[in-house]
């Protein structure tokens, strides 16, 4: 049942189309638009794998209804290079081996990009706190924190 007209901007490109009013943002991005970098881990907003930027704020796309983003700007991991810290974070994650399986990486990078935009001079403790809503099961947080800390420079 596609009967809600959604107009928004996704990674710098305008989108206009009919969507199911019961569709979550993550499902819209992955299934309708084909942006598979946004991952679903828990589906409950606990793991951070599904983070996207919504008007510059990091949000769990599994908790956002797609219709609610009408008129807003969405940045996914595929468009993160358009942000101030996107390229730096990706490079730093790679350099510091802050990636292992990669499932959680997009969520960490999205969260870090939004956080550094607000607090570019963050301390290591503040970075830890900012990333506390993201879960990694295999890399270990030390390398991730080091990568974010390095990217802010």
Domains of the chain and any CATH numbers: 4-79 (3.10.20.30), 80-151 (1.10.150.120)
Q: What is the DSSP string of the chain?
A: ---EEEEEEETTEEEEEEE-TT-BHHHIIIIII--TTS--SSSSSSS-TTEEEETTEEEEGGGSBGGGGTT-EEE-GGGGGGSSSHHHHHHHHHHTT--SS-SSHHHHHHHHHHHHHH-TT--HHHHHHHTTT---SSS-HHHHHHHHHHHT-
- The reported pTM is 0.94
Condensed to tens digits (0 to 9), the pLDDT of residues 31-88 reads 999 999 999 999 999 999 999 999 999 999 999 999 999 999 999 999 999 999 999 9
Condensed to tens digits (0 to 9), the pLDDT of residues 46-60 reads 999 999 999 999 999
């Amino acid at each position: 049942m596609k009967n809600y007209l959604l107009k928004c901007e996704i990674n710098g490109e305008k989108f206009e189309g009919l969507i199911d009013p019961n569709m979550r943002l993550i499902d819209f991005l992955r299934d309708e638009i084909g942006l598979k970098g946004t991952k679903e881990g828990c589906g409950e907003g606990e793991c951070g794998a599904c983070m996207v930027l919504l008007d510059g704020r990091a949000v769990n796309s599994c908790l956002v209804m797609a219709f609610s983003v009408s008129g807003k700007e969405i940045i996914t991991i595929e468009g993160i290079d358009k942000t101030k810290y996107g390229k730096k974070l990706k490079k730093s994650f790679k350099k510091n081996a802050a990636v292992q399986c990669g499932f959680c990486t997009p969520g960490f990078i999205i969260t870090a990009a939004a956080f550094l935009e607000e607090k570019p001079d963050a301390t290591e403790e503040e970075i830890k706190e900012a990333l506390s809503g993201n879960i990694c099961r295999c890399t270990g947080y030390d390398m991730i924190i080091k990568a974010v800390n390095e990217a802010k420079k």
